[in-house]
Structure 1
Amino acid sequence: MRIKKIIMGMALTSLLLLSGCSNKKSGSTATVKHVGILQVVQHPSLDEANKGFKEGLKENGYVEGKNLKIDYQNAQNSQDNLKSMSEKLVNEKSDLILGIATPAAQSVANATQDIPIVVTAVTDLKAAKLVNSDAKPGRNVTGTTDMVSIDKQIKLLLSIVPKAKTIGIMYNAGEANSKIQADLAVKALKKAGVKVLIKTANTTNDVQQVTETLAGKVQGIYVPTDNTFASASSIIGKVVKEKKIPLVAGSTDQVKTGGLASIGIDYEALGKQTGKMAAKILDGKAKPKDMPVERATDLKLVVNKKMAKALGIDPASIKAPK
C-alpha cells in the first residue's frame, strides 16, 4: 500500500511539473518577459500608441507586474538620448523592444540586429531602412505604419477653403516621415492647381514664429504627423485661431489641441495592433522577419467644433472626402 502511495505521489509530481513546463509557453504564466520601450518624445499621439501597445500585450496574456516587466524610456527629442537609451535597452537583454516613431525605431534598430523589434507610429518602414519590404521585412524589425491617405487629407482641407490660392505646409525637415508626407501633400496640392508655401522648424522653439509667418501668407495650413509640431500643437492652435486660418493635421490627436480637422487614425488602436504583434513574438509563434508590416484598419474624421466656431465655420459643413 505504501509503495502504491509513493508511485501515485511521483506520478502527481510529474504531472505538475509537466503542467508547469506547458504553461511557460503561454503569455499567461509567471515567466517574466522583459520589454523595452523607446519613445522619441512626449505628445498625445505617441502617448496613445504606448498606451495601446500595453493594452494589446495585456489582451494576449502579458500583464505588467505579473509576467511582464517594461522599461520605458523617453528621449525627449534628443538624438544623444536616443542613442544612450537604445544601448541601455539592448544591454539589459530585453526580450523585445518597441520603438515609437521613426527616430526611436531607427535608433533601436541600429543598436541591435538580434533582439526582436516592433515599431509603431512610423510612416514608411522601408524608406526608413527598417525593413526590406512591408510584405517581407527580412530583418529583426516589423510593426505598424501610421501612413494614411495624404490625398484625402488635402481634399479635406481644400473642401474647407475651396477658394484658397495658396496653402502652407509646416514640418521638421529633419524627420524622414514628415518629409515623405510633405512631398505627397505638395504633389496633391499642385495637382489641384494650388500654390504651396513651405516652412520648416527644427525645434519646438521655432514653431510659433514659423506658424505666425506662414499664417499671414496663406488661406489654409497642412501639418503632417510630425513630432516636433505635434509637441507644440497648443501653440499652433493659438496662432491659427488668432489669424483665422483653417489647419488640417495629419494626426487626429493634434486636432484636439491645435487643428481644425483631420481624417486619420486612432493611435491607441494602432498601438494595440502593435502589441498583439509583439505578443506573437514573445510567445515564440512568429519572428519579425516573417511578419508583414500592418496598417491601421480604421480611419476617422475628427473635427474641433470649438475651433470651427472660432474660425466662423459650421462644424457640420466639414465632411470626409470620398
Structure 2
Amino acid sequence: MTRQEEQGDAGRRVGRRRGALKAVGLTLTGFLVLGTAAAGYAYWHLSHNIKSVDINSALGDDRPAKAVIAPATAAAPLPTGSLNILVLGSDSRSGKANQELGGGDSSGARSDTAMVVHLDAGRTRATVVSIPRDTLVTRPSCPLASGGSTAAAYGAMFNSAYAVGGPVCAVKTVESITKVRMDHYIEIDFSGFAKLVDALGGVDVTTTQNIDDDQSHLHLKAGSHHLDGKQALALARTRHGIGDGSDLGRIGLQQMLVKALLEQMAATNLLTDPAKLYRVADAVTASLTTDTGLDSLGELTRLGQSLKGLTAGHVKTVMMPVVTAPSDHNRVIANEPAATRLWASLR
C-alpha cells in the first residue's frame, strides 16, 4: 500500500470515528432533550392536577392577623416561620373512584376530617389539632363564589360549613372559632388518600382493639397490620366498630394513621426512586385542592423542603377539648376555657 493510500485509509477511519462520535452525541442529545421534555411535562402535569381556591380574596381583611414571618434570605432560602394549615379530608362523591370508595349520593360533599396543623417556628416540631365534625358551632356568614353569601347559623354542626360554602366557609368558620389565622388550606378526597397510601406501598398500623364496622367494611383484629389504600381509608372513616361509635373514637384512629404515614414517608427514600416519587406526587396532586398560595408543584415542594427537619416523633396530635352538648347528647361543644387556651398557644 502506498503512503497516499495509507493516508486515505487513515482519513476514512478518522471520518468513521467522527461519524460514530457524532451519532453517539446526537443520540445522547436526543435522550437529554426527551428527558428534559418528559421532566417538563411531568412538572406541568403535576401542577395542573392541583385545584385551587382564592381564599384570601374571598375573605378579605376581616380575619385574624397573620403571623410575622421573616423573608427568605441567601443564608436561609426556605421559609422557617410558624405556619397554620387547615387540612380537610373531603367525603366528596364526585367521580367514579370517590363513589366506589364512599358510596352515597354523587352530589355534595362534607369535611369528613378536619385538622389544624401548626408548624412551630423553625419547622422541626408540629401540633395537629383535630376538630370533631359533630361539634356545634356558630357558623358565620360566608361569601359564595356565585355571589351573595350564606346565612349565619347558630348551633350548626361544624362540618356543615364546607357543605354550604366550600373551602372558603370552612376556613372562615375555623378562624371564627379559633381566632387563629389559617395561612394555607389543603383538601384531599377519598380516592386521593387511598392512592397516596398505595403509592407508598401501604402503611403499617397497630390497633389496640378489634374493629368490626360493617359501614366502613373494615374488620381487623387487635394487633399490627399492613394496610393498603382502601383499608387505610376505611380505618380513617370507621366509627361504629370502636368505642361508643362517636366521631371522637375515630379521631384517635385518624391521628394514629397520620403518624404512621409520616413514618412510612420517612422510611421510603423517594429521591432514589423517581418512578415511585412520581406516583406519589401524581396520587397526591390529582385529588388535591389548595389555596392559591400552594397551587403549584414549586410551592408545595418549597413547603415540603422547609419541613425536612420534622420527624414523626416531633409531631404532637391532640383533639380540641369538647364536652357533650346539653341540647343533644349525640353532639359536642367546645370545652371552655381549655379550648381557648389551646388555640391561643398556636397564635
TM-score range with shorter-chain normalisation?
under 0.3
Greater radius of gyration (CA): 2
